[in-house]
Structures are given as structure tokens and as C-alpha cells.
Amino acid sequence: MNQKALMIGNSDGIGLCTTKRLLSKGFHVTGISRSDSTIKHSAYSHFISDVRDSQYIELLDHLLQKESFDSCIYFVGIGERLNLSTMNDDVEVIDVNLTGMVKTVSKVIPQMLLHGQGHFIGLSSLADELHSAEAPSYHASKAGFSTYLESLGLALKPKGVYITNIRFGFVDTKMAKGEHKPFMMSAEEAATHVEHCIQQKPLRYTAPKLAIPLVKLHKLLVRA
């Protein structure tokens, strides 16, 4: 039986690459993004919506009434530098990265529990362990993202529903900002990691693994 996947924020970057991968593997995919999709495939349906809009929840309700999804992947993420003269961007970052994910979970997980199976994947960041004077909202949103998902995963695992929190470093997409981008990977490479997580269902997955000790070293230096 073909698996059905719901992809949030998949019109470009890692989401687009992953969508193409899954369609090639025989998945039926439904995508939701702020932008239209370039994908034309008989097993693909696309809807335009922003996770910040009230219509987003209505769309999720509509889709979940019609379909039972085996997996849901939240690719959505934004990041902005701190502007102390007007901090509206900080509100937007938290709303999109963290609140939007939790709103999605609140609709998708109950349906998965009804069927006794399912897999929710969220794309976080190694920034979840770091403090930053340049972009505190981004780091805070990812810290909350990772903590929430991994805690939820512990609660759901005995019930047959899986959570995976993927922590990437720099990926070559429009999200990659900053002068220094160590261990940069392509969106295609990131999609390979996502595909692996769909198959293996780990609670936490970090890539590239070489970046983990650098993050820990950075934390120690900041504390010092």
C-alpha cells in the first residue's frame, strides 16, 4: 500500500528535494506552502497557505478529514537578525518556527493516535544549543522546537506514533545566512538524511555529526 505524506513548507529547498524523492519511491504526497509548487505529478497535491494564518488550521482540518497520513514533515523555518529598533521580526520567527510547528502537531498527532501509527518529523537546527546576540529569536525558536518535539516523542513512542527531531547545520538554501558556514551541505544531501529518518524513525538525528563537537566547544567558550 502506498504511503501518504503531508509536507509543510515544501515548495523549495530541502522540502522540494524530499518531495521529489518520495514521489519517486511511490509515495502519495500532499504539500502546503506559502508559494505554488513546480511539481506536476499524479500522486501530488499542493495547497497554498501560510502557517501564521487562521486558514492554515482550517486547511489542516479539511485535509485530515479526507486523508490518513502515515507521515508529516515540517520544513518551515525563517531567521532574521536582531533589530532592536523594531522587534517585530522576532515575533514572526517564533510564530513560524515554533508556534506553527506546534499548531501542526496539535492537528496531526491526534489523528495518528486514532490509527495507532504515524511519524512526525520536524527540521530543527544545531542552533538549538547555542546563544546568539545576532539572532536570539532564531536560536530560541529552535531550542523550543527541539525540546518540545523530543519530549513529545518520549510520550508517544509507547503508543506507536514516532517523532523525529532533525538538527541540521548549514544547508545551501535561502535560510543559510552568516559570513561563515562550516560543513555546508546541499539540499539534496539534506534530503538524503530526511529520507533515512523516514525509514529509521530516530528520536533525534543530527547532521553533519562532525559539527556536534564544534557546537559543544563553542558553548564552553561562550561560558568562559
Q: Which domains does the chain have, with CATH numbers?
A: 4-223 (3.40.50.720)
The pTM (predicted TM-score) of the whole model is 0.90
Catalytic residue check, 44: no
Mean pLDDT, contiguous 10-residue spans, the chain (224 residues): 92 96 97 96 97 96 96 95 91 97 98 96 93 90 98 95 94 60 82 97 89 58 54
Residues 120 and 6: their CA atoms lie apart, in Å, by 9
C-alpha cell at position 179: 559570513
Instruction: Identify how many contiguous H helices and E strands the chain contains and give both numbers.
Output: 7, 7
Catalytic residue among 138, 148, 162, 205, which?
Answer: 138
Please report the pLDDT score of residue 215 as a whole number.
Answer: 58
Q: Give the pLDDT score at 176.
A: 47
Residue 36 confidence (pLDDT): 95
Name the nearest CA neighbour of 48 among 80, 78, 11: 11
Q: What are the angstrom distances between the C-alpha of 28 and each of 1, 41, 91, 114?
A: 10, 10, 34, 20
Cα–Cα distance measured from residue 153 to residue 79, given in angstroms and rounded to the nearest whole number: 25
